[in-house]
Amino acid sequence: MPKLTAQERVARLMSEASLQANVIELAEALGYTVAHIRDSRAQQVVGYPDLVVAGHRRIIHAELKVEHGKLTPAQELWRGLILDAGHDWYLWRPSSWLDGTIGRVLKEEIP
């Protein structure tokens, strides 16, 4: 098995809660408003994305997963519905945070 890089080791150890806290902090610092769906199963919207990030004339739906977490069928359904409606939907993992992908997405189109 190949040796993991330091970044890969950190990504594997980062919890979804830590990732979420980082994303919310950055999004709010950039002027977005963030809604967090704590447990979609309890809210009658099973599979709805964890975060809705709104501002700067856009709405981003983000599903957060640990590094090797998988989407449920309900999450796959919501992804399709959101994308078919022409909205942004992302699957973000710790590696997405560490490699700067999340920051780049949030900073796109900010005047």
- The pLDDT-based confidence of 2 (bands split at 50, 70, 90) is confident
pLDDT greater than 90 at residue 32: yes
Task: Write the CB contacts of 81 (distance below 8 Å, at least 6 apart in sequence).
Answer: none
* pLDDT value at residue 19: 96
pLDDT at 105: 97
Which regions of 11-109 does DSSP assign to beta strands (E)?
Answer: 33-36, 51-55, 58-64, 88-92
Q: Quote the pLDDT of residue 59.
A: 96
pLDDT tens per residue across span 36-91: 987 655 667 889 999 999 999 999 999 999 999 999 999 999 999 999 999 999 99
Decide: 91 and 65 in contact? Cβ < 8 Å: yes
Examine the pLDDT at 13 and tell me if it is beyond 60.
yes
pLDDT for the residue numbered 43:
63
Residue 63 pLDDT: 97
